[in-house]
Amino acid sequence: MKETKSKKLDPEKVMERIAEASRPTVAGVEEKDVRHWVTIYVMGRGYSVPADLTILTAMEYAGYKFIRGCGCRQGFCGACSTVYRRHGEYKLQTGMACQTRVEDGMYLVQIPFSPAEKASYDISKEAYKVNTLLKHYPELARCVACNTCTKACTQDLQVMDYIQAAIRGDFETCVNESFDCIQCGMCALRCPAEIVQYNMAQLARRLYGRNDRPEPKHLTDRLKEIEQGKFVKPLDEITKKSKEELEKLYYSREKESD
Amino acid sequence: MSQTKIAYYPGCTLKTTAKNFEDSALAVARALDIELVELPKWNCCGTVYSLTDDNLMYHIAPVRNLLRVKQMVRDELVTDDHRMVVLCSMCYNALKRTNLRVKENPEDLQKINDFMYLEDDDYELNVDVIHFLDLLKEIGVEKIREKVVKPLNGLKVLPYYGCMLLRPKEVGIDDPEEPNLQENILAALGAEPIDSPYRKVCCGSYLTVDNKYVVVELAYKILSHAQKAGAQALTTSCPLCAFNLDNRQKEIKEKYPGFKNIPVFYFTQLMALAFGLSNECYGFDLHHTKPEPLLKEKQLC
Amino acid sequence: MTKKIELAPENNKLCEKICSISGEVVTMCDQCGTCSASCPMAAEMDINPSEMMKMSQLGMEEVLETKAIWLCASCFTCVVRCPRGLDLSKVAEALRQIKLRQAEDHMDIKKLTIEELEGLPQIALISACRKFTG
Ligand code: SF4
Ligand code: SF4
Ligand code: FES
């Protein structure tokens, strides 16, 4: 082996760099203020983190930076899926890292993406028939009704029920049961039949919306208003505002009632 | 007499390409004072019984359906507390055989129940799976004959059984070599049942998906023998047989131009016809070979 | 010179595997041929059902490459007739499973045409997936 002249590493400096890299990135958390600590294991490595953090913030506290696998931080976008096991349990748990609190002895890993193909279709030309979903996603026929998808769902949806409904062309059930899906992909990763539940359900909702629901009047009206240029001026004004003004506007906005 | 209410498992295909089977069967049952109450929540049974000894995964789906009957009994949705009626031959076979397997292997059942821990109940072997033809046999041909208002006089029909109603023996609803359940019903309706050894021969089943020409050959044999024996139509209780024997007539015709199309009915459609039930339940639009010309000729519609 | 082969599952790995997956003792087959005479698919098969049994007894790997194992439609005609009470449909299933469990699918549903997929009843597609994909 050829000898290389290696620069002698200064262990002190290395440790400093590591400490710097894992400095808490979570705003407002100071070590001295933290009373309760838990240990979590991220990909096998243990970290001591404040007990009241979510998995996402705890990982950031431990020094991880998220380039992918994080989005809204509000539990809506489906980007931050995590699988974990609790200490002493055999069950594999799933959750959104931004919504799940860390627990002592948790083993976890982020699953930022679930590889899957999506059917391509022209929704305006697509037939709305009992076999349409099977036509685009024939692997639906492989479902063994094991219910693993339901167990894996981070949103507690009855995933198997919507898959079963899809097999028999029952659009309404499929749509209602899948409505709250955030497409995190956990069901698809655990399914022994290798079905991509969420993409299929999206097609079901699109078809159902197009064919089985009355045209929403407010949407048609709004589209007309947009075409007529009603919002050009307000939008112009908004883009010129300062950050403070925007914040004020945002918090005083009119909210839709529940 | 109060109406009998009995749990009923439809299966995916009875909601789609065999909707006419379900509609006609439900109407016929009603005419015979029986209400078939659909399982409140059911899943695909898997259609084929898994034949391996070492894999339980495929038995979960049937067992999951069986445990629903208990909930129905508890909610007083049914008056018959231990039976589940199935119409589709394939579903019948898969459900019945799985039921037998878990009855014989309590350890397997335990594993399956443990696996389904999210269900409110365990399956406790409290269900018997029966086919609609079993139920009709119990009711008796007399009662069926009484309901006939439009006898199917002069209609020559080959009652096709295929495989799943007859085999294996422990699942079969009738003698595997000499069945006569459908014959008796057809005779009660005034039709003339035709005999042919081909009524028990496999139509090729799911090979229709990856090897349809095998099915075309088999279906051609079955249908042409039926015709030679004098049949003008066939009856079945399997939506896959119906597909292979009816829809594949398109490919048969391409291969054997001399072939004459022949309608394939679900036996319940003929019952509905003879009972004079509303023609909404016939669903002839789902047939490939349209039965109307034959029925007109016999002055039945 | 003739070689004597002792027919016993434990003498052969493949034979043993077939027996354990199917739950059938294939060495009990007497080669009477009733199954081959009954099988509606035999005409299309490259080996007869009874040959399938023989090859399984001998643990011949070639049996896994035959068309016959995929042509068996699980119609159970042979099952009700076998004088030895053997269930050949289970043996064929074991042979298919040996392939499928090595992730060697027999069918690719994504290759079916749109027209085929639209026309097929659910039970056809579901059963084919169960039998031909792992
Ligand atoms: S259905 Fe699947 S993709 Fe949708 S939220 Fe549940 S686990 Fe995530
Ligand atoms: S995990 Fe897959 S096979 Fe199991 S019930 Fe869900 S969709 Fe079906
Ligand atoms: S970051 Fe969007 S759901 Fe967690």
Same domain for B209 and B117? no
Q: Which two tokens stand for residue C59?
A: 């643990």
The rounded distance, in Å, linking the Cα atoms of C66 and C16 is: 19
Same domain for B73 and B211? no
Query: What pLDDT, on a 0 to 100 scale, did the predictor assign at position C3?
Result: 66
- B11 in a domain, yes or no? yes
Determine the residue among C106, C107, C109 to mutate to test chain A binding: the one whose Cβ has the most chain A Cβ atoms within 10 Å.
C109
Q: How much is the average pLDDT of A240-252? A: 91
Q: Which of A48, A78, A111 is the last residue of a domain?
A: A111
The set of residues, in sequence order, having a beta carbon less than 8 Å from that of A141 and lying 6+ positions away, is A134, A167, C109, C122, C125, C126, C128, C129
Same domain for B152 and B293? yes
Lowest mean pLDDT among A96-100, A253-257, B42-46: A253-257
pLDDT category of residue A2 using cuts at 50, 70 and 90: very low
Sheet of B4-9: strands edge to edge? B34-38, B4-9, B83-86, B128-131
Same domain for A121 and A101? no
Same domain for A134 and A65? no
Same domain for A156 and A60? no
In chain C, ranges of CATH 1.10.1060.10 domains: 9-103
Asked if C78 and C89 count as a contact pair (C-beta separation under 8 A), the reply is: yes
| Nearest listed ligand to the Cα of residue A54 | 3
Sheet of B192-193: strands edge to edge? B192-193, B156-159, B233-236, B264-266
Contacts of A161 in chain B (CB under 8 A): 41, 43
Q: Which residues of chain C have pLDDT under 50?
A: none
pLDDT category of residue A106 using cuts at 50, 70 and 90: very high
pLDDT at A56 over 50: yes
- Which residues of B lie inside 8 Å of C (Cβ-Cβ)? 11-13, 16-18, 44, 46-48, 50-55, 58, 88, 90-91, 163, 166-169, 176-177, 200-202, 204-211, 214, 217-218, 239-240, 243, 247
User: pTM of the entire structure?
Assistant: 0.88
- B140 in a domain, yes or no? no
Angle at B26 between CA B21 and CA B31, to 5 degrees: 125
Structural domain containing residue B91: 4-133
Structural domain containing residue A219: 114-242
Q: Which of A60, A77, A111 is the last residue of a domain?
A: A111
Asked if B112 and B60 count as a contact pair (C-beta separation under 8 A), the reply is: yes
Q: What is the CATH number of the domain that holds A100?
A: 3.10.20.30
CATH topology of domain C9-103: Fumarate Reductase Iron-sulfur Protein; Chain B, domain 2 (1.10.1060)
Lowest mean pLDDT among A68-77, A143-152, B36-45, B61-70: A68-77
pLDDT category of residue A14 using cuts at 50, 70 and 90: confident
Query: What pLDDT, on a 0 to 100 scale, did the predictor assign at position A23?
Result: 52
Asked if B127 and B69 count as a contact pair (C-beta separation under 8 A), the reply is: yes
Q: What is the CATH number of the domain that holds A191?
A: 1.10.1060
> Is C73 close to B47, i.e. CB distance below 8 A?
no
pLDDT at B219 over 70: yes
Query: What pLDDT, on a 0 to 100 scale, did the predictor assign at position A30?
Result: 76
Same domain for A163 and A98? no
What does each C-alpha distance from C75 to B48, B51, B127, B203, C16 come to in angstroms? 11, 12, 25, 9, 25
pLDDT at A110 over 70: yes
The rounded distance, in Å, linking the Cα atoms of B207 and C74 is: 10
Q: Does C50 touch chain B (CB under 8 A)?
A: no
What does each C-alpha distance from A10 to A14, A17, A26, A90 come to in angstroms? 6, 11, 29, 43
Query: What pLDDT, on a 0 to 100 scale, did the predictor assign at position A35?
Result: 85
Same domain for B208 and B286? yes
Same domain for B128 and B31? yes
Contacts of A190 in chain B (CB under 8 A): none
pLDDT at B274 over 90: yes
Query: What pLDDT, on a 0 to 100 scale, did the predictor assign at position C8?
Result: 73
Asked if B259 and B220 count as a contact pair (C-beta separation under 8 A), the reply is: yes
